Amino acid sequence: MIILVMNGNKNKQSRGRKLGSGNGSARPLTDNEVRQLFASIYGKHGHRNRALVSLLFHCGMRCGEASGLSIGQLRAPNGKVRDSIVIAGVNMKGKVSHRYYVSNVGKLIIGEYLNLLSGDDSEPLFPSPKTGKLMTANSVSRLVKNIFRNAGIDDASSHSGRSTFSRKLLDCGVGIEVISKCLAHKNLSTTISYLGNLQPNAQNAVSGIQY
């Protein structure tokens, strides 16, 4: 089992939206909460659920976008997880196609799930248990919220994965322009309002430098 580890901010108070800011608020989770979340995902659909949550936390994807994925969009011809995922405009909120990039840890978690799938590339990545067809965006959103609640996280929404992803990029010193591109935002102003407090964690940013 691969467990997500997010180094850095141990402060229980997020620098974006406030913790406990209300039910349904898309607040970013703390590193400890993310560890708690992934550690709580196990059982019959554990690999599927970890893969789904990884697309939100390791890729910045929306639930509605994850719900429409096929196996082939993530599985490369060599059987490994693709470095990036292209989603057609018809399945994007802004109706413009977008390429999402996946973190190395995210690829490991998703790869564990892909190794269990025997379907061809055209089949749904997350099929409905009832129909075998694509799960609806609402179904995926409800599933993610239930996963959060099972982990004891009651005041976050399905969008909190995307919020945590963007906040982590900022805290690691990634510029607003790059974060905006990762999130498929059309305007920087959207990204700025989305992030809230723009002061990054300087220690995280500097510690990530490698030569």
pLDDT tens by residue, 58-115: 999 999 999 999 999 999 999 999 999 999 877 777 778 899 999 999 999 999 999 9
Q: Which residue blocks in 97-136 are alpha helix, DSSP H? A: 104-114
CA quadruple 180, 89, 115, 44: dihedral, nearest 10: 90
The predicted structure's pLDDT at residue 7: 42
In DSSP terms, which residues pair with 127 in a beta bridge? 134
Please tell me the distance from the alpha carbon of residue 54 to that of residue 184, in angstroms, as a whole number: 18
Contact 160, 27 (CB under 8 A): yes
Backbone dihedral angles phi then psi of residue 85, each to the nearest 5 degrees? -125, 120
- Of residues 93 and 41, the one with the higher pLDDT is 41
C-alpha 34 chain-centroid distance: 11
Q: Which residues contact 209 (CB under 8 A, 6 or more apart)?
A: none
How confident is the model at residue 25, as a pLDDT?
Answer: 56
Could you tell me the CA-to-CA distances from 208 to 104, 168, 195 in Å, in that order? 15, 12, 21
- With a cut of 50, say whether residue 167 has pLDDT above it: yes
| pLDDT greater than 70 at residue 4 | no
Do 14 and 28 meet the contact criterion of CB atoms below 8 Å apart? Answer: yes
98: which strand partners?
87
